[in-house]
Each structure stands twice: as structure tokens, then as C-alpha cells.
Amino acid sequence: MESSLEFSSSLGSVSSLISRCRTFKVLVIGDSGVGKTCLTHRLCAGEFPRRSEATIGVDFRERALEVDGEKIKLQLWDTAGQERFRKSMVQHYYRNAHAVLFVYDVTCPASFNGLTSWVEECRQNSLGHEIPKFLIGNKSDLRDVGRTDCHVSQELAMNFAKAHGMVFFETSAKNLPKKRLNGRRGEGEELCQRSKVEDIVSAVGTMLKKHKTLMANSPAYSGSFKVHRKKQEKEPWTCC
């Protein structure tokens, strides 16, 4: 793999001191192709990216928000789903993480089954039981009512979330096609989808702000990785 890693960390970067804004490290994990990069982009930039490439190592995006009058920052760590692009850096991902988003593709049961190994990886890397965890079923725009057998049911996902102490959301990182947006129904769906994405941001922010143990034990992380990466264009993803 042609990538190298530089790591720097400090408890108070200049920018965080100026803005006095607490920064929370939020890990985004899940199988390759489930849409972690697109979802992270949507959560932070408010739109679906035009191009998607396989993540090598990790990418970062930030989202500022206000919770109960306090400005906080979510630093989303969009990690590679492919084992060969992540293995040397795994322990860095988990260090000082404040929350985790477990992502699967609702149209790909294999990605849902794969969640067990992501939970296990968290355990092996001593991720605290107490930190907020979220289960996100992505690509809900591809749900086909005629092919429910091939999709992950919400009931199954909710049970999984309950068993692992996670908050469950089903959403789509993708904007709806333009022709559907022309009609009233499309606009409504898009607004609904946008609010679901915002619901995820608010839920993560609210849980982190309220999480007293986290505040006491792990000060807001402010540091950076620089991953020198060779990007690889991604084919449109297909599963079942």
C-alpha cells in the first residue's frame, strides 16, 4: 500500500483556543461500499459528493453545530472499509474516540452481517462501552418494495441496535434524482431525507454534549493525521 502517516496531537490547537469550541472525535466504520464517505460528506457539507473514491486510511471532515447554546464540533473520521487500506492504522482510529457510527447498506445484507466484526474490532481496541454508538442503515433511496427479501428489515436492524446499545437511523446520503424533485412528492421526500440527516447530526451532538463521563475522562481531542494517499476511482457499488 502506498501510503504513509504523520501524526500530530495537541490538547489545544490555535483554532480551538480561539473559538473555544469542544471537538469530538466521531468514528465512521462499516464494510467497503456502504457509503461512509458519501454519508460523512452529506453530514458535513450537506450534499452528496459528485465523485466517490475508495478511502485509503482515513479522511476527515468537520461539522460545527450548536447544542443547548454551546458551539461544538464533530470531527468525523471516515475510515477505509477495505482491510488492506486500514490494517496498519486501526489502533489510531480508536484512540480517544468519543462516538462511533456503524454504517451498513440497507440493500446489502452482507454489510449488515459484517457489523458483528466491526463491533468485535471496537472491543479489541478497547473502545469504551459507555461511549455513544449509532447504527446507520444507508441507501434507503434504493429500497425496492418488490424486493424486500433482499433487503435488511428495519425490525432486524432495530433489534441489533437494541442489543448493542446503539441508536438506530435509516437514511440515504444521496439526493433524490432531479425528475423526482420536480414533483411535489419528490420535494417532500428530499426535505424528509434532509431532516433525517440533520437528525443524525443533532442526536450525535446532543448525546456527546450530555455525556458527562466522556467530558471528565477524555479531553476534547485536537490533532491530525496526514495520510498521503493514492486515490482509486470507485465503480458504482452493487451488492446482492
Ligand X SMILES: Nc1nc2c(ncn2[C@@H]2O[C@H](COP(=O)(O)OP(=O)(O)OP(=O)(O)O)[C@@H](O)[C@H]2O)c(=O)[nH]1
Binding site for ligand X (CB under 6 A): 32-38, 52, 54-55, 80-82, 138-139, 141-142, 172-174, 234, 236-237
Q: For residue 93, give the C-alpha cell.
A: 482510529
- The DSSP letter of residue 233 is E
Strands 58-67 and 70-79 turn out to be antiparallel
Minimum CB distance to ligand X, residue 54 (Å):
4
Give whichever of 55 and 75 is closer to ligand X, judged by the CB atom: 55
Give whichever of 67 and 196 is closer to ligand X, judged by the CB atom: 196
DSSP run (H or E) holding 155: helix 154-163
Minimum CB distance to ligand X, residue 104 (Å):
10
Give the Cα separation of 119 and 77 in Å (integer): 17
Give whichever of 71 and 226 is closer to ligand X, judged by the CB atom: 226
Question: How many DSSP H helices and E strands does the chain contain?
Answer: 9, 10
Minimum CB distance to ligand X, residue 66 (Å):
26
Give whichever of 102 and 160 is closer to ligand X, judged by the CB atom: 102
- The DSSP letter of residue 1 is -
SS3 20: coil
Query: What Å distances lie between residue 47 and 12, 99, 113, 180, 232, CA to CA?
Result: 30, 22, 28, 17, 21
Minimum CB distance to ligand X, residue 221 (Å):
22
Cα 21 from chain centroid (whole Å): 21
Give the Cα separation of 238 and 131 in Å (integer): 32
Give whichever of 48 and 206 is closer to ligand X, judged by the CB atom: 48
Minimum CB distance to ligand X, residue 55 (Å):
3
